[in-house]
Every structure is written in C-alpha cells, then in structure tokens.
Amino acid sequence: MKRTFRELEDSNDEDLYHFSVEELRAGHFSKSLWSKALTKSSFDEDKARRLYVELRVEQLRASSDLDRELADVKKETEIVDQDIKSLERKLSELW
C-alpha cells in the first residue's frame, strides 16, 4: 500500500528512506533535487540516486519538523486567543 508523506510524519528514518526510494523508483521525484544530486555526484547516476535519497530524507525531516512547529504555534495562538477573550469579558463586566 502506497503511503503519503503525511502518514510518515511520525515515522522513523527507515520509513523515510523507504518512502524516498519508492518515490524515485516510481518516477515521482523532485526534478530540482535530482538535478542537485546529479551535479554533486559528477553525473554518476548510481551515486546520484544514493545522494538523492539522502537529500530527500533530509527534506522530509525538515518539512515534518516545520509542520510540528507550526502545529505548536497554532495551539499556542489558540490559548492566547482564549486568554484575550476571557480578559475582554472580564473587562466588559467591569465597565
């Protein structure tokens, strides 16, 4: 069964590597990341495939970290919004 990146967010490194390899094999890969891998490997396609997977795993990790940070910020914002509403109610009661 094919998994999406969102399903991999809490996965371990092995899952991320597997996902990256399967992306590459299926031809659903980042052209710009592939170009970077080719260039850095002196256009050796075997080395480029290995490097692509490493670069893609790093990219997936970074994306997952950002998604988690964004979720944390959203939670904190909700708490602050609730605090503001509570203070506004108390203030309106005083007036």
User: What is the rounded distance in angstroms from the CA atom of residue 39 to the CA atom of residue 43?
Assistant: 6
Strand, coil or helix: 29: coil
Going by C-alpha positions, the residue among 94, 95, 8, 92 that lies closest to residue 56 is 8
Extract the tokens encoding 44.
Answer: 């050796």
Instruction: List the chain domain ranges.
Output: 5-94
Per-residue pLDDT of the chain (95 residues; tens, 9 = 90+): 345 555 555 567 899 999 999 999 999 889 999 999 999 999 999 999 999 999 999 998 888 776 676 777 788 888 888 989 999 999 888 88
Largest CA distance in the chain: 74
Extract the tokens encoding 75.
Answer: 């939670």
This prediction has a pTM of 0.62
User: What is the rounded distance in angstroms from the CA atom of residue 92 to the CA atom of residue 86?
Assistant: 10
User: 51 and 40 in contact (C-beta within 8 Å)?
Assistant: yes
